[in-house]
C-alpha cells in the first residue's frame, strides 16, 4: 500500500513533506512561545504539527515498504546496518513528533484562554515544553535525514564532500 505511486517509490517523495513540515512545526512552536505572536501562530501550529506527524507515519511505512521491495535486511552487506540505523532513528522521530503534535494541539486549545489578566501555570509550562520538544524535533529530523542520505549516497563511507 505504501510502496509506490505508479512505478515510483513513494518514500523519497514523501520524506520531503517531513523535511519541510517538522522544522516548520518547530518554528511555529517557537513563535507560539512568544506571547505577542501566540494568536497568529495558534492554529497553524496545531495543523502543521499534526500534518508533520501524519507525513512521518507515511514516510516510515513507505520506507519499510521500499526496504522490503529491495530485499534489504540488517544483514545486507554495507547498506543493511545503515538502513537499520535510519529506521531506528525514524521510529524515534515518530515518537517525538507524536509528543510534539499532542503538545501543539493542547497548547492551541488551552494556552492563553484563561481570561484577561490571568496567567496560569499552563500558559508558561506548555510553551516552554513546545520549545524543548521543538528542538528535539529539529535534532531528530536532521539525524534521520543524515542517516538516510548516507545510506543512499555514501554507503561505503569513502566519499568526502
pLDDT per position as a tens digit, 99-147 = 999 999 999 999 887 666 556 788 899 999 999 999 999 999 999 999 9
60 membership: H or E segment, kind and range: helix 38-70
- Does 56 have pLDDT greater than 90? yes
What pTM value is reported for the model? 0.91
107-130: b (≥16 Cβ within 10 Å) or e:
bbeebbeeeeeeeeebbeebbebb
Q: What is the mean pLDDT of the chain?
A: 92
What is the per-residue pLDDT for 116?
60
Amino acid at each position: 500500500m505504501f510502496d509506490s505511486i505508479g512505478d515510483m517509490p513513494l518514500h523519497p517523495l514523501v520524506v520531503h513533506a517531513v523535511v519541510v513540515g517538522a522544522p516548520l512545526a518547530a518554528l511555529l512552536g517557537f513563535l507560539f512561545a512568544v506571547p505577542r505572536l501566540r494568536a497568529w501562530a495558534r492554529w497553524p501550529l496545531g495543523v502543521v504539527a499534526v500534518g508533520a506527524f501524519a507525513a512521518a507515519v507515511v514516510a516510515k511505512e513507505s520506507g519499510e515498504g521500499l526496504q522490503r521491495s529491495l530485499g534489504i535486511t540488517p544483514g545486507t552487506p554495507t547498506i543493511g546496518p545503515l538502513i537499520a540505523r535510519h529506521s531506528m532513528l525514524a521510529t524515534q522521530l515518530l515518537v517525538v513528533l507524536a509528543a510534539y503534535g499532542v503538545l501543539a494541539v493542547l497548547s492551541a486549545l488551552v494556552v492563553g484562554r484563561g481570561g484577561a489578566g490571568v496567567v496560569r501555570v499552563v500558559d508558561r509550562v506548555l510553551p516552554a515544553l513546545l520549545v524543548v520538544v521543538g528542538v528535539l524535533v529539529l535534532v531528530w529530523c536532521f539525524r534521520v535525514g543524515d542517516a538516510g542520505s548516507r545510506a543512499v549516497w555514501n554507503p561505503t563511507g569513502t566519499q568526502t564532500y
